[in-house]
Amino acid sequence: MDLGFAAFIAIGFAAQLIDGALGMAYGVASTTALVFIGVPPAVASANVHTAEVFTTAASGVSHAAARNIDWRLFRRLALAGSCGAVLGAFLISTIHLDAARPLISAYLFAMGVVVISKAVRPPKPPTEIRKVRLLGFVGGFADAAGGGGWGPIVVSNLIARGASPAIAVGTVNLAEFVVTVAASVAFLAALGPTFGKAALGLLIGGVIAAPLAALAAKKLPRRTMMGLVGCAICILSLVNLWQTLTA
């Protein structure tokens, strides 16, 4: 095994471990790492989307086995998220949307602060989650059009509204598989096939990490999980905001 391919596997493993446990950051973490080691940004993004079809499937199945899924919530998120992802994929293929990324980053940072504040306060009973379809649509659109955001947008909102972190992460991960397939098909139709060895390495690493991540999501205490999710949102949004403002 050459060092380059081993690096792709390691990146996929680390990114999926984070994403599967916290419900976010696979795309951002893996794309950032690929660009860091010299993969062109467009090629990195294409390979990450291809690998995500398989890693989200593995992660979703792992969460289902761990009983981290709310099936009614899953159906509503998956359908609406797929519609948003298809629209976002076709728009980003024809329109430059970099101007919207700072706004998305600022929004995500605010949501991260909300989640952290809930982690340090005494826990409250879960409340009914409303407007789930709109949330899924916005999350799917942002993920495809902005290069990421399904997990941070959807998970942060669900937890901020009172959902159990383990259930929110597991359900969003499984729904992400459906959303990623929809986005990938749309990208394939708009841009043609763009994938290679990096996608295979990311896939292998992600599949290996998926069961460990699902177990971590189920075992971590509620407030610890909320704190980790909130910190991850804030850090990623600040990094993305800095990159967009200094590009």
Q: List the domain boundaries for the chain.
A: 3-246
Over residues 16-26, the pLDDT tens digits come to 887 777 667 77
Return the percent helix, strand and coil in the chain, to nearest 5: 85, 0, 15
The answer to which of 12-16, 27-31, 92-96 has the lowest mean pLDDT is: 92-96
Distance, in Å, from the CA atom of 134 to the CA atom of 44, rounded to the nearest integer, reads 29
> Please, are residues 156 and 112 in contact by the beta-carbon 8 Å criterion?
yes
The dihedral formed by the CA atoms of 19, 25, 28 and 33, expressed in degrees to the nearest 10: -50
Confidence at residue 101, expressed as pLDDT on a 0 to 100 scale: 64
Confidence at residue 247, expressed as pLDDT on a 0 to 100 scale: 65
The answer to which of 4-13, 31-40, 111-120, 121-130 has the lowest mean pLDDT is: 121-130
Over residues 137-188, the pLDDT tens digits come to 999 998 887 666 788 788 888 887 878 888 888 899 899 899 989 988 888 8
Token pair for 176: 């992400």
Confidence at residue 70, expressed as pLDDT on a 0 to 100 scale: 92
The answer to which of 2-16, 44-58, 69-83 has the lowest mean pLDDT is: 44-58
Confidence check: pLDDT of 60 > 80: yes
The pLDDT confidence band at residue 78, using thresholds 50, 70 and 90, is: very high
